[in-house]
Amino acid sequence: MRNTAKFTTAALAAGALTLGLTACGSGDSASDTSGPLVVAASPTPHAEILNYVKDNLAEKAGLDLEVKEFQDYIVPNTATEDGSVDANYFQNQPYLDDFNKKRGTHIVPVVTVHLEPLGLYSHKVKSADELKSGATVALPNDAVNEARALKLLADDKLITLKDGVGNEATPQDIVGNPKKLKFKEVEAAQTVRSLDDVDAAVVNGNYAISADLKPATEALVLESAKNSPYGNFLAVKEGNEDDPRVKKLAKLLTSAEVKKFIQDKYAGSVIASF
């Protein structure tokens, strides 16, 4: 039976604080590598991939793996920073760079595992060309994913962005908008739920899959995997990269068995990066 815990954001925040205080009161927990490796992950596909490793590969490799499912993009990093968990698996490099800068955390990547293409979805139209003038598009409101979403729309010629805005683009950086699109900024996890209220939404791959959307076939516009900086990786607090448990997990996550699992289960909606 899987040892997987699911949490709401509020419960996680409280739990992370409690666990962090416990760790502080019990000595240098970061140096204790004798217990299970506790990894925070988004439910889909990250926790699914980790649970495949747990159920099929970890025991043979001598790894005691515990997976905790997080429903947001904040607590996994703060919990890793304060020692409530040992590692996390849910994010890409631009997001982590922005998070560390704004929050003063010290999270570092260990190994890149997969890419989830960002996509534009709609319950109201069958193609991006069918979006009417003045249509409303929901965007994830965290800085990196919003910029990534705007770049996706720009690559499909729905909008034009200022030159050089990169990973800091916001709707204010739109210099061309032939369809006069309006933008609704919501939490990344809410973009799928907004589909009934807006004309289209840019949705992160993990949330699309969780909602039974099929990025490879149902996205109006889909992010290219070629030369993408958005691969998702296993991450730890700086200084814990050499934890032998982390090294074991990194090796398992980039094994031929995991690559086949990703290919078979996600059929192109998630792409192995190794």
Which of 180, 198, 222 is the C-terminal boundary of a domain? 222
Tens digits of pLDDT across the chain (274 residues): 334 444 433 344 444 433 333 333 333 444 467 899 999 999 999 999 999 999 999 999 999 999 999 989 999 999 999 999 999 999 999 999 999 999 999 999 999 999 988 999 999 999 999 999 999 999 999 988 999 999 999 999 999 999 999 888 999 999 999 999 999 999 999 999 999 999 999 999 889 988 999 888 999 999 987 778 899 999 999 999 999 999 999 999 999 999 999 999 998 889 999 9
- pLDDT at position 13: 41
Q: Looking at the structure, do residues 70 and 197 belong to the same domain, yes or no? A: no
- pLDDT at position 30: 47
Which of 188, 206, 222 is the C-terminal boundary of a domain? 222
Q: Looking at the structure, do residues 160 and 258 belong to the same domain, yes or no? A: no
Q: Looking at the structure, do residues 108 and 123 belong to the same domain, yes or no? A: no
Q: Looking at the structure, do residues 50 and 16 belong to the same domain, yes or no? A: yes
Q: Looking at the structure, do residues 125 and 180 belong to the same domain, yes or no? A: yes
Q: Looking at the structure, do residues 140 and 178 belong to the same domain, yes or no? A: yes
| Beta carbons within 8 Å of 57's beta carbon, 6+ residues apart | 252, 255, 257, 258
CATH number at residue 138: 3.40.190.10
Q: Looking at the structure, do residues 11 and 32 belong to the same domain, yes or no? A: yes
User: Whole-angstrom Cα distance, residue 255 to residue 224?
Assistant: 24
Q: Pick from 125, 117, 144: which is nearest to 199 by CA?
A: 125
Domain of residue 199: give its range. 119-222
Q: Looking at the structure, do residues 164 and 244 belong to the same domain, yes or no? A: no
Q: Looking at the structure, do residues 248 and 203 belong to the same domain, yes or no? A: no
Q: Looking at the structure, do residues 249 and 161 belong to the same domain, yes or no? A: no
- pLDDT at position 8: 39
- Domain count of the chain? 2
Computed from CA positions of residues 249, 253, 255, 260, in that sequence, does the dihedral angle turn out positive or negative? positive
Q: Looking at the structure, do residues 243 and 173 belong to the same domain, yes or no? A: no
Cβ–Cβ under 8 Å, residues 179 and 133:
yes
Q: Looking at the structure, do residues 210 and 254 belong to the same domain, yes or no? A: no
